[in-house]
Structure 1
Amino acid sequence: MPIIYQCRHCGHKIGQLDQQMVDASMLGLDQLSVEDRQDMVNYQENGDIQIKSICESCEESLGKNPQYHELDHFIQ
């Protein structure tokens, strides 16, 4: 059951954890609101967990262009 971190803006795979058993509190997912958890965490049919995050490149772009925060996707 891999846990895959992927950028919510550009789709780049940030990283992957290959763990057999993972507790949500170990990943800090228990700290998210219900809405944020629904938005950020996707459970795939094959058992993988996909977590939407932000890569360094997109974070830098958001820092330089704060108006991008208004958009769901700013990378075309």
Structure 2
Amino acid sequence: MLRLTDIWSWWVILWAPLFILAIGSAVREWLLTVRSQWHASLMEWVLLVVAHLAFAASLALVLGLLPR
């Protein structure tokens, strides 16, 4: 439960919409890429996977799921 007197609660309230938007954008990008998968080369798929793994790792680090 968030206490509105704690500074971390305000950061969560401010950054949560941005994280939700980023996750929604990533999901939409994957859906659009899968629909046009025959148009993407192997290098484009590799770069897409690496970019999303980096995003997932940075999000896990920010959320405290990975050790620093």
User: Which TM bucket (shorter chain)?
Assistant: under 0.3
Instruction: State the structure with bigger RCO (CA 8 A, min sep 6), 1 or 2.
Output: 1
Higher strand share: 1
| TM-score (norm: length of structure 1) | 0.23
| TM-score (norm: length of structure 2) | 0.24
